[in-house]
Amino acid sequence: MKWIKVSSYEEMSKVACSIFVKQLQHKSNSVLGFATGGSPVGFYKEIVKSYQAGEISFDHVRSFNLDEYIGIPSNSPASYYSYMVENFFQHVNISKENYHLPDGNAIDLKEECVRYDKSIEESGGIDLQLLGIGVNGHIAFNEPGTSFASLTNIVNLTESTRIENARYFENIADVPTQAITMGIQSIMNTKKIVLTAFGDKKVAAIDQLYSGKITEDYPASQLLMHPNLTVIYGSEG
Ligand code: PGA
């Protein structure tokens, strides 16, 4: 496990990017795990720059995202699909058939969960996974109390997560109440994990992780059992 303390959001983004660049230079057909939210926006900017500078290519990359809302169209600006296209996919040479997000509009959502885990497995598994962390210790949409054995599944979003994510919607009533998320076990199955957290708001979450106590009440704590975890963190204060 590696803890890297940074002094700015930009530095966090650059350090995370450099790990992905190294991964792609070492294995051009890597399977990458991507995240959405505020934390990775700077990371995507950096990795697009590395692509534009010719340091890396996404020609042979396959990717899987952690999660997607249930019940909003994928072309809605608030969907994670749109986030990924806007922040990343449209700027690099990754082809549409090579990037994947869970389908939050699948007719059979349970079957979609099984299909998603299977398609990750069939790709050979995720080589490098990017993660953020919620103020309550959630990873992806795995909220406190989630079983560490969970695979991709349908979850009810907690009120605190809906409030946190309301910034991406016109008003809180528009925030979906459910999502499909890779489970904690699905995340643990990835070969390397980079967790990013910056800002005063995340200090308590990182302190809790650092304390080393492993409990399902704090989903991120299971990551401490992962053989290859890097935490890149810091705050203004
Ligand atoms: P954030 O969210 O990157 O938008 O802070 C992370 C998370 O809630 O997992």
Question: 145 C-alpha vs ligand 1 centroid, how far in Å?
Answer: 18
Which is the closest atom of ligand 1 to the Cα of 202? Answer: 5
User: What is the CA(165)–ligand 1 centre distance, in A?
Assistant: 9
Ranges in the chain, pLDDT < 50: none
Q: Which ranges constitute the DSSP H helices of 34-96?
A: 41-52, 80-87
Give the number of domains in the chain.
1
Report the pLDDT value the prediction gives residue 237, as an integer from 0 to 100. Answer: 76
Q: Which atom of ligand 1 is nearest to the CA of 36?
A: 3
Summarize pLDDT for 77-88 with one digit per residue, the tens.
999 999 999 999
- CA angle 58/61/67 to nearest 5° reads 110
Nearest atom in ligand 1 to 133's CA:
9
User: Residue 160's pLDDT is what?
Assistant: 87
Q: Tell me which of 41, 164, 206 to substitute to probe ligand 1's pocket, judged by most ligand atoms within 8 Å of the beta carbon.
A: 164
User: CA–CA separation, 12 vs 44, rounded Å?
Assistant: 12
pLDDT for 216 equals 97
Distance between CA atoms of residues 108 and 112, nearest Å: 6
pLDDT at 210: 97
Tokens of 53: 């500078």
CATH of residue 123 = 3.40.50.1360
Of 191, 196, 231, which Cα lies nearest the Cα of 31?
A: 191
Angstrom CA distances, 196 to 64, 76, 206, 234, stand at 18, 26, 10, 9
Of 96, 15, 20, which is closest to residue 56 (Cα–Cα)? 20
Return the best residue to mutate from 13, 34, 39 for the ligand 1 pocket (most ligand atoms within 8 A of CB): 39
CB 212 within 8 A of CB 145: no
Residues flanking ligand 1, CB < 6 Å: 37-39, 132-134, 138
Task: Check: CB of residue 38 under 8 Å from CB of residue 213.
Answer: no
Q: Which domain holds residue 160?
A: 2-234
